Structure 1
Amino acid sequence: MDNKSDWSKTIEELEGIEWPDPPPGGTGLVKAVHNLRKRPINLLTAWEMSRLIGQDVGIPWLLPVALEHLRETATDQSLGAFHDDDLLTAALTRRSLVWQSNPQWAADLKEIISLLEDISPSIREDVRRFFLRADTGATN
């Protein structure tokens, strides 16, 4: 999303698709995703973005916002600030097609990773797989 004024819009508005109410008995995640699509992007927390991105919802609009957030928090990590592992994991684990279709996003995420001084051991394998997918187009 190149225009930050679009960040005041919801995913539903940007997609032009209104989802029906979640099915009765739907999981908490399903209900959350349905509701989060109706919230303006600039009001979503990192955790909420990670939930949506992890479900491949709103990727064209959310991933650029998530990458900006990750870049900002990566530079703060050296100051002892919290870095959002959930959002990083959601971004890292997107399919190869996302990175192949948007090479600048892949380059941005590689740069963000290089800024991190400490990557959680639980995420290191996701980082390795991301580099493999982004560099070779591998599916896993």
Structure 2
Amino acid sequence: MERSLQEIEGNDWGDPQPDATRLISTVLELRRRPIGTLEVEDLRILLGQQVGVEVLVPLALDRLEDDPLAEGDFYPGDLLVSVLRLPAEHWRGHPDQVRRMNDVIAAVPPEEVDRDLQGDISAFRSCMY
């Protein structure tokens, strides 16, 4: 938890170019932070960009198991949505994480499941079959 994604993956993506977007600069900076220091918003950003998925999904699931509607900077459940939207290939290769994700989904209070979240949940579940 003291190592960064950059250290774990053994791949330095370099510094942002002067004309880099805020998102690119943020991703490059977050890749250099120890993963144990990453906040919900940091996980949301990185997973939303599909960066460090293999390393970060277990951490995100830990957070979601504590609070299925963990909130970054946008809205309650924004981390959940980022994780639900990961590619089907990831989930197919990690049945243990699928089980954990299904438990997280089951823990979301029904009154918090709006049409958009229900669509993301349905898409996640359909990629398993």
State if a TM-score over 0.5 links the two structures.
yes
Q: Which amino acid in the other structure matches residue 92 of structure 1?
A: L
Mind listing any 5+ residue stretches in structure 1 that lack a counterpart?
A: 1-6, 75-81
- In the alignment, the residues of structure 1 paired with residue 29 and residue 78 of structure 2 have an alpha-carbon distance, to the nearest angstrom, of 19
Mind listing any 5+ residue stretches in structure 2 that lack a counterpart?
A: 72-76
Q: What displacement does 1:102 show?
A: 0.7
Q: Which amino acid in the other structure matches residue 126 of structure 2?
A: L
Aligned length: 122
Within the alignment, does 1:8 sit opposite 2:5 as a pair? no
- In the alignment, the residues of structure 2 paired with residue 106 and residue 71 of structure 1 have an alpha-carbon distance, to the nearest angstrom, of 13
Counterpart residue number, 2:43: 49
Q: Name whichever structure is richer in helix by fraction.
A: 1
Q: Which amino acid in the other structure matches residue 65 of structure 2?
A: R
Q: What displacement does 1:88 show?
A: 0.4
8 Å Cα contact 2:40-2:70 kept in structure 1 = no
Superimposed CA distance per residue, residues 74-97 of structure 1 (whole angstroms, 9 cap, x where no aligned partner): 3xxxxxxx6331110110000010
Q: Where in structure 1 do 4 or more consecutive aligned residues deviate above 4 Å?
A: none
Q: Which amino acid in the other structure matches residue 28 of structure 1?
A: R
Q: What displacement does 1:21 show?
A: 1.0
TM-score, normalization by structure 1: 0.82
Percent identity (aligned): 29
The Cα RMSD (Å) is 1.2
- Residue 29 of structure 1 is aligned with which of 8, 23, 27? 23
Counterpart residue number, 2:98: 106
Superimposed CA distance per residue, residues 7-34 of structure 1 (whole angstroms, 9 cap, x where no aligned partner): 1210001001111112221111110000
SS in 2 for 1:8: coil
Superimposed CA distance per residue, residues 21-69 of structure 1 (whole angstroms, 9 cap, x where no aligned partner): 1222111111000000001111111011010011111111100000010
